Amino acid sequence: MRGSWHDSYLGKLRNAVGTQKIIVNSVRAILLDDEGRALFIKRRGDKKWGMPAGAMELDESVFDAMKREVKEETGLNVLQATLIAIYSSPTTQTFTDRWGNEHHVIEYLFRVDAWSGSLDKETDESVDAEFYPVDNLPEASSELFARHHLRVFKDYEKYDGKVILE
């Protein structure tokens, strides 16, 4: 989604409902390099590190949303990916953003199996991009997201071909 957050589906929905709790479908991608290091981006907005991720837009599939988010945040083109987990538990997937908006997030976690292109260190949505060892991840935007990153990588490690549902 090129353009402002206010022009996105989520921005328009927020404008219509205010701070009322909403369900947000989102995607997250694990991209590992040949050394097994995970790709993280430093987000332009809060200057914190996170994995390529974001909310779905209207009229796109979950897979297409993941491909778009990876492209927007890293410049890479996803060629093939595997769905690893779906997180939807209201006790672990509900949060309040910095503006007081409540979200119940349904997140689709993908392992990117093949991609093309060159990694862009800076995009419209990120100011840096680096691969980090899974046992030494960068500072996340909050304790909640730091815990989530750890859970994501634990699920990645235990993935046995069956989608993990929470």
Q: What pLDDT score was predicted for residue 63?
A: 98
Residues forming a β-bridge with 96: 102
Counting the structural domains of the chain, the total is 1
- What is the rounded CA–CA span in Å between residue 51 and residue 155? 15
Q: What is the pLDDT of residue 3?
A: 66
pLDDT in tens, 27-42: 999 999 999 999 999 9
pLDDT(149) > 60: yes
Q: Residue 120's domain is classified under what CATH number?
A: 3.90.79.10
Task: List the one residue out of 131, 105, 104, 114 whose CA is nearest residue 76.
Answer: 114
Domain range holding 130? 5-165
